[in-house]
Structure formats: structure tokens, C-alpha cells
């Protein structure tokens, strides 16, 4: 049911169980704002056997130049920490929160302080580097009808 809900959302495409494992999804996130909206970013969402009592873990598999995502794809996402997790939270809300992080880097949600500092002190340089990194690493955006 949650997978169907996510598949109808316009912020992601090609969402499906990875290796037919219903506890491990993959798909493409489609950021809305520059510099990331020139590409699509592959994500994985991994659910604990105790879900919904425990939060899922979101990971970006596409490299991204972003202060809230580390080089291994771990995401600074307070929503999915044990302190903030609510069992009623839907997978769609986790992905919407992740997309919001990509669209609007938040100085309070930082895993790469060097990039956060660059964004605050030299925003144009940051945007140029992020745009080039997106061009080199992001996947092509799928057809909007798909």
C-alpha cells in the first residue's frame, strides 16, 4: 500500500523493491530546484523488520555535492532518527522530507561542514560546483509522463 502511494507521487520515479525485497526499495528522486533539478538521484529506502516501530533508512546512491549528504550517501534526516520517529509516519513522508532536503540545503542538517560553510560564505561557487557535480554524476531525468 505504501509503495503504491509513493509510485503515484511526482517527486520520484521507478520506485520498486530492490531484488524483490519488499523491505528494500530503490528509485529516482527528482529535485525541483537548481542546481540539482538538472538530474535524477537514485535512492534506497531500507525498512527494519520492526517497521513501522523503527524508522527506515534513506541512502542516496548517486553522488551529490550537498552539505546534508555525506560521500557514502548517508543523509542527515532527523525525521528518521529514533528520537523523532513516529510509527504513523509514511514512507512517502520520508521521501518528501528527503526531497525537501535536496531542494533546500539546511544549515541545521549537515554531514559535510565544509560544504555548508562554502554554501554560506560563497554561495555562487557552491552552486557552480554543485551544478557541475550534478551534470557529471546524476542520472538523466526520466520522461515526465513516465
Strands lying side by side in the sheet with 21-29:
12-18, 21-29, 41-46, 57-60
Burial of 80-90, coded b for 16+ CB within 10 Å and e otherwise, reads: beeeebeeebe
Burial of 41-60, coded b for 16+ CB within 10 Å and e otherwise, reads: bbbbbebeeeebeebbbbbb
From the candidates 30, 76, 91, 95, give the one annotated as an active-site residue.
76
User: Three-class SS of residue 45?
Assistant: strand
76 an active-site residue? Answer: yes
Which residues belong to the active site? Answer: 76
Amino acid at each position: 500500500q505504501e509503495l503504491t502511494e509513493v509510485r503515484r507521487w511526482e517527486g520520484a520515479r521507478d520506485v520498486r523493491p530492490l531484488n524483490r525485497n519488499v523491505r528494500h526499495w530503490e528509485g529516482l528522486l527528482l529535485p525541483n530546484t537548481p542546481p540539482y533539478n538538472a538530474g535524477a538521484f537514485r535512492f534506497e529506502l531500507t525498512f527494519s523488520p520492526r517497521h513501522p516501530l523503527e524508522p527506515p533508512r534513506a541512502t542516496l546512491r548517486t553522488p551529490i555535492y550537498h552539505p546534508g549528504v555525506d560521500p557514502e550517501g548517508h543523509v542527515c534526516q532527523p525525521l528518521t532518527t529514533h528520537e523523532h520517529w513516529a510509527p504513523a509516519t509514511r514512507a512517502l513522508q520520508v521521501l518528501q522530507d528527503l526531497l525537501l532536503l535536496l531542494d533546500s540545503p539546511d544549515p541545521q542538517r549537515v554531514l559535510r561542514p565544509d560544504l555548508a560553510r562554502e554554501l554560506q560564505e560563497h554561495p555562487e561557487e557552491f552552486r557552480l560546483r554543485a551544478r557541475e557535480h550534478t551534470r557529471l554524476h546524476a542520472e538523466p531525468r526520466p520522461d515526465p509522463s513516465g
